[in-house]
């Protein structure tokens, strides 16, 4: 039996979930690249976007990508912290169980590629 190296980088709340991200702007494509463990032990969801990190363009692209990937309205995805950092906290409004399951499926699909 294999143990999971990285714990899930999202936390559940009554309103939805919050996700810890590490974003790569100008990543060549928009996509979710799985889970990574940082040196300090925290887990993050790796996300890349084509947009450049200028004037909030990459942040907007990240919010749109997550909304589309999770099947929620764009207005339901908000940047909590990290506007000028690669490490960000994002809040997604919706059913926490459904959102968590959607994230697990996105991550497991990436690990099979």
Is 55's pLDDT higher than 80? yes
Average pLDDT, the chain: 92
Q: Is the pTM of this model over 0.85?
A: yes
d(CA 31, CA 47): 6
113 pLDDT band, cuts 50/70/90, is: low
Where are any strands of DSSP class E within the chain?
10-12, 16-24, 31-37, 43-48, 77-81, 87-93
Model confidence pLDDT, tens digit, residues 62-111 = 999 999 999 999 999 999 999 999 999 999 999 999 999 999 999 988 76
Dihedral angle computed from the Cα positions of residues 73, 92, 8 and 46, in that order, rounded to the nearest 10 degrees:
70
List the helix and strand counts (H, then E) for the chain: 2, 6
């Amino acid at each position: 039996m294999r143990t999971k190296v990285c714990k899930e980088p999202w936390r559940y709340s009554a309103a939805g979930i919050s996700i810890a991200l590490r974003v790569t702007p100008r990543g060549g494509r928009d996509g979710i690249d799985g889970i990574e463990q940082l040196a300090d032990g925290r887990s993050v969801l790796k996300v890349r976007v084509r947009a450049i990190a200028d004037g909030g363009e990459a942040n907007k692209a990240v919010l749109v990508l997550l909304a589309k990937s999770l099947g929620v309205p764009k207005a339901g995805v908000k940047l909590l912290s990290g506007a000028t950092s690669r490490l960000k906290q994002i809040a997604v409004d919706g059913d926490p169980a459904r959102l968590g399951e959607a994230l697990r499926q996105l991550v497991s699909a990436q690990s099979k590629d």
